[in-house]
Structure 1
Amino acid sequence: MPGNHGSTAQESSHQEILMIEGMRCGSCAIAVEALLKKQPGVTDAAVNFAADVAMICWDKDKPRLASLQQAVARLGYRLHDSVDPDRSQHQANMARKLLQRRLAVAVVFGMWSMMPALLLYLAPLGAVEPGMLWPLAVASGLFAVPVLAYSGSHFYRVGWRTLMAGAPGLDSLIFLAVLAASAISVWQLTSGNHHVYFDAAVMLITFQLVARLLDTTVRRRASEIVRRYLQEVPDEVTLKKPDGTLEICAARDTQAGDRVILRAGEQLALDGRIVHGQGQADLSMLTGEHLPQPLEPGAELLAGCQLVEGEVELAITAGIGQRRIDSLSRSISALLSRKTTLQRLTDRIARILLPVILVAAAIAVCLALFQGAPVPEAAARGLAVMIISCPCALSLAIPLVITMGHAHMVNNGIVLRDPAAMEAAAGVGAIIFDKTGTLTTGMPTVSSVAPEAPWHKNTLLQLARTILGESSHPVAQGLWAHDSEQLPGTTGGTRESVAGAGTRWVCGADTALAGRADWLREQGINVPFTEDTGMNIHIAHNGQYAGKISFEESLRPEAGPTVRTLIHQGYAVYLLSGDTRNACLKLAERLGIPGKHVLSGYSPEAKQRFVETLEKQVNAVFVGDGLNDGLALAGARLGIAVGSAAPATGEAAAVYLTESIAAVPATLQLAQRARKLMHQNLFWAISYNTLVIPLAVMGWIQPVIAAIAMSLSSLCVLLNSLRMQNRLPGTAAEDSARITPSVSPA
């Protein structure tokens, strides 16, 4: 999710992420945020409705949680000291179902309320007998009761709370407009008049429910991020008791200092330090290192890493909640609590609009009375101002573009995870690619075979396959994937693997070795001294050196064309990885990425820091795959995860490409189009209010016309948003060369 990198929240010395339960809309978040900012000791606060999280900041003494909970409880919400993704997901589902029920009631009873109202509109044309006007007005009001009492009840509660919190927004305006329309209508009925405005109140509630449901459908997906992130780690461990017996138990039931056993092929659930044993571990989940790393006693192993070879005993150093992966999850929650430019702009407009509209309504009433109009007519003029200026179009401006564009993006293999990605693509000047799993397949391929006489390339490859057998080591899998004409390796004999060194194969009188050069020398093999760059295995047979097989990372077929296209368009392309410098430079050379743009050996936190540093100079996109990229993907202005990404990575990214990185250019093009439409919608919504408020104040617009005009403004926003589904000219791949990288669609 794109971050607000210039927010004051980041400047405070301390911050903490809390969870808020019970929020139903953006107005709820605005009210909670305003209230938290007023609490003693809080220097800044940011509330994200999509993720149900609040970030509070302080400088010296940490604010008391109990005081914050009491303050938030006064608004009807609950504050928790830890993020619970399951609770957030449950709340999201409940909120969506409740909105659907309220909208169903509003549509059904709203249509019945509009029917008699329509006859009242036609009365001046002689379509209705005078004696039927008052009964029709009563019927319109009766059919409106379920809509006003049930469908709109949430707006009244939130509108009142936000007023009391000193942060009135859209719900406060809806609350006042519906209250005024209902009060004037009841007054008219009791006076024997048929000029009622129940239909305007019903339309107002129905349109707002549609907007709220669209917004909720897209935005609540953010509640999945942390839950998916933590699901990548197993929840059970093999515990070694003091008496030496082993027991499978839940990871949450262990504590620091307990001993656990990790076997080949298993994934670690807790952070720990190796006490006994050796092996090789796949650390790519957290570091991006493409080769398994050797482990010895004293080495640290983090939750999420997988043991490829060997068996180790570990002493737990961090339990549930204190692991490195828990820290990454909390960091992602902090990033999610930040607000984007359009979010902050919409919040400011909503806060400014309410007092402006109320003042305009009061001026309209006073002007009407000054002109000698009767009190009911003056009140109707004020109501017209409130209804026609109600920012329905403003509330629909962003969600409609997101919703219309989402289906179109899916058809192009692009899944939108975060609405803010739409605005993030404008003015992008740099694209940062992760290496392993993004540009490469993660499986090495044979690059060269250097046999020693009397061996030949095919017989050396066959011998290597025989020695390594069906090992799960990436080098072994790369051997088997190599397309060669030789016969497969022999399956007989016995194999002994030495973690981090090599493999010995014995079959009768034959003994063969495959592994590191220094290990072969320890076994008495005369290995020539050659420079080892990248991945290599040396082979020996019956005490004689047989040759060397070199490997390189396998590029994805689309990686080269995509990177070259982006460079040709003028983007600055970076390679950012946790892998070694040599491996990164070799890959960059094959792709045409300049060496000064190659960053190697970066941890997840370091990746995110680099992304933020770069974005101070130029708007950047981060494209990654793998759990170790989650923090950078969530913190980047625009995070893109590719097809093979782990579920957690796909959720942490703002955009998920189901196919490959070949869709990156099309993603930027579609996102730029969306941001352009968002700005157009916001411009129309604000311009509409600027134009119609003076007309309503002068009394030139009646409440009924005001309701229709308000609906037409929303319709204009809808029609403009439909342009998001216009087909890209040609396929995404064909159009990628025509994307302009640095032109803002605004």
Structure 2
Amino acid sequence: MAATAPFSVDAESEIQQEQAQQSMILMVEGMRCASCAIAVEARLKKQLNVSDAAVNFAADIAMISWQGDKPDINHLKRAVARLGYQLHTSLCPERSARLAEKMRKQLQLRLAVAVVFGMWSMMPAILLYLAPMGAVEPEFMWPLALASGLFAVPVLLYSGSHFYRVGWRTLIAGSPGLDSLITLAVWAAVLISVWQLYLGLAHVYFDAAVMLITFQLVARLLDTSVRRRASEVVRRYFQDMPDKVAVQDEAGNISQQAASSVRLSQRIILMNGQQLALDGVVQSGTGQADLSLLTGEHEPQTLIVGDELLAGCNLIEGELTLIVTATLGERRIDRLSHSINKVLSRKTALQQLTDRIARLLIPIILVAAGLAVLLAWFQGAEFTSAIGRGVAVLIVSCPCALSLAIPLVITMGHARMINTGIILRDPAALETAADVKVVVFDKTGTLTTDTPSIKQLLPASGWSEQDLLQLGLNVLYEGAHPVAKGLVASVTNTAMAEQVTPNTQGERETIVGQGTYWRGEHGTALAGRASWLLAQGIPMPELIDSGMQVHLAFQGQYAGSISFQETLRLEALPTITSLQQQGYAIYLLSGDSKQACHDLASRLGIAATQVLSERSPEQKHRFIEALERKDKVAFVGDGLNDGLALAGAGLGIAVGQANSATGMAAAVYLPDGVQQVPTTLKLAKRARKLMYENLFWALAYNSCVIPLAIFGWIHPVIAAVAMSLSSLCVLLNSVRMQGKAPTQGKKT
């Protein structure tokens, strides 16, 4: 396969925007499985003025869209309430997380009951299977059949109640799914068994019903345990945000107030080292702020009166008075979370395929069961025998393997990835990994560290490199600016650490955004911008500040300059080279400056035409969408400003010390850095391949056994065993996920 042709940077602006469609994100309370989401979605789509609806069980959200008049929200709430769910206009991730944990514990209890009582129900059933071989006297067969039914009661009434409830809801919503089929199969087996007992016969199928419920509970628990993590995305975004702010009244008095109570145009005070909780515009004061959380810009930005500062940013130096421009719910970070929820509400191709398969199977299986009953009746079979043949069709064709196909691969893949140092976050996104042809990297924190390193020492006449380095270390030691930290780290990690040691004596004074004074035993030194040194009367050569550069002077004389560059992670170049050799197109997408991005790209061998700089989170997302229209994309990033792109990409990968919000928004999280990106792509491709294989074998099984059951060649008990064997086959195929990752050679 040929490598992907480069996607022109200019092409991004050529992509026409689709017609805007109004939409709203709502929270759905009470969903317990994907079938619940199907029922709610079907009901919402039928409501007045709703043009489309998408419900995501993993995130407990529903996105409704409309063109023209907005739907009546109260009407939507009532429509959903008739199904047994609650619709909320306000998103509450904490409530969603509590409900998810409660439901998980309920599933565990239901499974425990099913396993314990199911085991006791199976014991007399096993003796009944052995009866034709003389293991049981005829007079004991009916009591054993009754015992099997009595032990099955807790499983039927408690463990399986969830399936009946959801099956009924999806049925009345007009979108019956797997739960409806399970309900029909279980109660058909139970009713025919009760009828057999009433007639004094011992041909019962309680064990088949118990096995069906138990297997489905296992599948549901596996699915829930992995996929419900997505509901924490929004909560993770805000968990570290301050909940109180310092508010200044008209009289100048300052008081601590809850961020939720602050209104527009109020004045708030932000001190050195604090994180901003609300969007605002600087009214007075100066300072330097770390904006990387939202912009990706690695270098602190100097703020003056009139500049905007967004919630989530940190003030490194200075003190600011701000006028609030956006309150809780309206901040930039709130809009980002809303956008991510919209992305999460989309269904993946495999989810849509599984839904379609389930919807198609139900009428096919029901028709097959009816045909089996009619055929048995025409062949002269008794009523109970004819009904038993229909039950056999329902049991043998119940798509347990279909429901297990995806969760089992996810679970096995999760364990395999954990052992490799890869944390799975959103398994649904792995479906597109096999088609990935483009890998887009964020820059700051992904390919580089947070601390810059020395690029070049340029001492003035009469100064040596060692003397210049010593002077810089004396002035900037213990400084909060990244350049100061980079200088200390560079000296510490080199052979010069023994020759150059910081002078901890003396007085230091920092002028925010300009430079630092240091008054030591032997004189006064300055370190900062060239323009600032000139303003202090230092005679300067003809120099132009370029990138990260600090100029130094001692006792009124220019001493030289130290230039810095971003510190490339050790694993960055080998990873990029490996991906390029495998045929992936590589892009660099960052909020940082054009010069910083192109300098880094040249060090990594990334073409200048595939470098995009100074991009906001929304612009990053739009570019990823533009690439997705041409090829499947994997986006690798670190930082909150990458969250939207990570959630929207076909395969989002968060790396390094990514904050928890980013880690939850991405498909996978790599704590050890980008070196695991190639392995992640290989394992994700294997996972999707196994998912499709499982779906194929599950459908092939049904295609083979349904005709056999229709003609009466499969007894209901054998049907239950065959259903179990089909699930076992899917399990064994899924175990292949634990094998060694295949070696991926160069693509051609």
Scaled by the length of structure 1, what TM-score is found? 0.96
Q: Find the counterpart in structure 1 of residue 104 from structure 2.
A: 96
Mapped partners of 1:575, 1:143: distance in 2:
62
Deviates more, 1:497-506 or 1:446-455: 497-506
Q: 2:708 matched to 1:700?
A: no
Specify the code of the residue in structure 2 equivalent to 1:121. Answer: Y
Q: Find the counterpart in structure 2 of residue 722 from structure 1.
A: 735
Deviates more, 1:493-502 or 1:16-25: 493-502
Superposed CA offset, 1:306-325 (max 9, x none): 11111110111111111100
Q: Find the counterpart in structure 2 of residue 709 from structure 1.
A: 722
Q: Matches of residues 293-372 of structure 1 in structure 2 within 5 Å?
A: 293-372=301-380
Specify the code of the residue in structure 1 equivalent to 2:600. Answer: L
Q: Matches of residues 518-529 of structure 1 in structure 2 within 5 Å?
A: 518-529=531-542
Q: Find the counterpart in structure 2 of residue 450 from structure 1.
A: 458
1:49 pairs with one of 54, 57, 60: 57
Tell me how far 1:526 sits from its aligned partner: 2.5
1:473 pairs with one of 481, 486, 506: 481
Specify the code of the residue in structure 1 equivalent to 2:593. Answer: T
Mapped partners of 1:458, 1:478: distance in 2:
16
Q: Find the counterpart in structure 2 of residue 59 from structure 1.
A: 67
RMSD: 1.4
1:93 to 1:395, Cα distance in 2 relative to 1, 3 A: same
Tell me how far 1:237 sits from its aligned partner: 1.1
1:11 to 1:374, Cα distance in 2 relative to 1, 3 A: farther
Mapped partners of 1:569, 1:498: distance in 2:
50
Q: 2:649 matched to 1:636?
A: yes
2:548 pairs with one of 523, 527, 535: 535
1:402 pairs with one of 407, 410, 424: 410
Q: Find the counterpart in structure 2 of residue 463 from structure 1.
A: 471
Q: 2:420 matched to 1:412?
A: yes
Mapped partners of 1:690, 1:11: distance in 2:
43
Specify the code of the residue in structure 1 equivalent to 2:508. Answer: R
Specify the code of the residue in structure 2 equivalent to 1:458. Answer: Q
Mapped partners of 1:591, 1:173: distance in 2:
55
Scaled by the length of structure 2, what TM-score is found? 0.95
Q: Find the counterpart in structure 2 of residue 582 from structure 1.
A: 595
Superposed CA offset, 1:366-387 (max 9, x none): 1111111111111011111110
Q: Find the counterpart in structure 2 of residue 259 from structure 1.
A: 267
Q: Find the counterpart in structure 2 of residue 224 from structure 1.
A: 232
1:215 pairs with one of 223, 244, 253: 223
Q: In the alignment, is the contact (CA less than 8 A) between 1:429 and 1:741 conserved in 2? A: no
Q: Matches of residues 584-603 of structure 1 in structure 2 within 5 Å?
A: 584-603=597-616
Mapped partners of 2:358, 2:486: distance in 1:
58
Superposed CA offset, 1:28-74 (max 9, x none): 00000011000001001111111101111101111111111001001
Deviates more, 1:670-679 or 1:229-238: 229-238
1:379 to 1:10, Cα distance in 2 relative to 1, 3 A: farther
For 2:394, what is the secondary structure of its paired residue?
Answer: helix
Q: In the alignment, is the contact (CA less than 8 A) between 2:430 and 2:667 conserved in 1? A: no
Deviates more, 1:484-493 or 1:718-727: 484-493
For 2:294, what is the secondary structure of its paired residue?
Answer: coil
Q: 2:244 matched to 1:240?
A: no
1:739 to 1:641, Cα distance in 2 relative to 1, 3 A: farther
1:691 to 1:87, Cα distance in 2 relative to 1, 3 A: same
Tell me how far 1:24 sits from its aligned partner: 0.4
Specify the code of the residue in structure 1 equivalent to 2:587. Answer: Y
Q: 2:683 matched to 1:675?
A: no
1:548 pairs with one of 561, 580, 586: 561
Mapped partners of 1:234, 1:240: distance in 2:
17
Tell me how far 1:490 sits from its aligned partner: 2.6
For 1:50, what is the secondary structure of its paired residue?
Answer: coil
Specify the code of the residue in structure 2 equivalent to 1:698. Answer: F
Q: In the alignment, is the contact (CA less than 8 A) between 2:529 and 2:545 conserved in 1? A: no
Q: Find the counterpart in structure 2 of residue 568 from structure 1.
A: 581
Tell me how far 1:508 sits from its aligned partner: 6.7
Count, aligned residues: 727
For 1:472, what is the secondary structure of its paired residue?
Answer: coil
1:711 to 1:671, Cα distance in 2 relative to 1, 3 A: same
Q: Matches of residues 485-524 of structure 1 in structure 2 within 5 Å?
A: 485=497, 486-507=499-520, 510-524=523-537
Q: Find the counterpart in structure 2 of residue 3 from structure 1.
A: none
Q: Find the counterpart in structure 2 of residue 4 from structure 1.
A: none
Mapped partners of 2:284, 2:690: distance in 1:
61
Deviates more, 1:640-649 or 1:236-245: 236-245
Q: Find the counterpart in structure 1 of residue 185 from structure 2.
A: 177
Q: 2:442 matched to 1:429?
A: no
1:610 pairs with one of 623, 643, 647: 623
Q: In the alignment, is the contact (CA less than 8 A) between 1:621 and 1:638 conserved in 2? A: yes
Mapped partners of 2:18, 2:425: distance in 1:
24
For 1:42, what is the secondary structure of its paired residue?
Answer: coil
Specify the code of the residue in structure 2 equivalent to 1:397. Answer: A
Gaps of 5+ in 2: 1-16
Tell me how far 1:494 sits from its aligned partner: 2.7
Tell me how far 1:530 sits from its aligned partner: 3.0
Q: In the alignment, is the contact (CA less than 8 A) between 2:274 and 2:315 conserved in 1? A: yes
Q: Find the counterpart in structure 1 of residue 29 from structure 2.
A: 21
Tell me how far 1:569 sits from its aligned partner: 1.4
Tell me how far 1:532 sits from its aligned partner: 3.2
Q: In the alignment, is the contact (CA less than 8 A) between 1:533 and 1:582 conserved in 2? A: no
Q: In the alignment, is the contact (CA less than 8 A) between 1:277 and 1:310 conserved in 2? A: yes
Tell me how far 1:739 sits from its aligned partner: 4.8
1:69 pairs with one of 55, 59, 77: 77
Mapped partners of 1:544, 1:554: distance in 2:
30
Mapped partners of 2:506, 2:717: distance in 1:
90
Mapped partners of 1:204, 1:651: distance in 2:
34
Tell me how far 1:424 sits from its aligned partner: 2.0
Tell me how far 1:632 sits from its aligned partner: 0.7
Q: Find the counterpart in structure 1 of residue 160 from structure 2.
A: 152
Mapped partners of 1:490, 1:666: distance in 2:
47
Specify the code of the residue in structure 2 equivalent to 1:457. Answer: E
Tell me how far 1:12 sits from its aligned partner: 5.9
Specify the code of the residue in structure 2 equivalent to 1:719. Answer: L
1:482 pairs with one of 487, 490, 509: 490
For 1:554, what is the secondary structure of its paired residue?
Answer: coil
Mapped partners of 2:24, 2:18: distance in 1:
11
Q: Find the counterpart in structure 1 of residue 673 from structure 2.
A: 660
1:276 to 1:12, Cα distance in 2 relative to 1, 3 A: closer
Q: Find the counterpart in structure 2 of residue 110 from structure 1.
A: 118
Q: In the alignment, is the contact (CA less than 8 A) between 1:256 and 1:316 conserved in 2? A: yes
Mapped partners of 2:609, 2:238: distance in 1:
35
Mapped partners of 2:554, 2:733: distance in 1:
73
Tell me how far 1:133 sits from its aligned partner: 1.4
Tell me how far 1:469 sits from its aligned partner: 3.1
Mapped partners of 1:311, 1:195: distance in 2:
83
Mapped partners of 2:59, 2:695: distance in 1:
24
Tell me how far 1:509 sits from its aligned partner: 7.5
Q: Find the counterpart in structure 2 of residue 38 from structure 1.
A: 46
Gaps of 5+ in 1: 1-8, 730-734
Q: In the alignment, is the contact (CA less than 8 A) between 2:160 and 2:213 conserved in 1? A: yes
Mapped partners of 1:343, 1:503: distance in 2:
58
1:690 pairs with one of 682, 703, 722: 703
Q: Find the counterpart in structure 2 of residue 645 from structure 1.
A: 658
Q: 2:290 matched to 1:277?
A: no
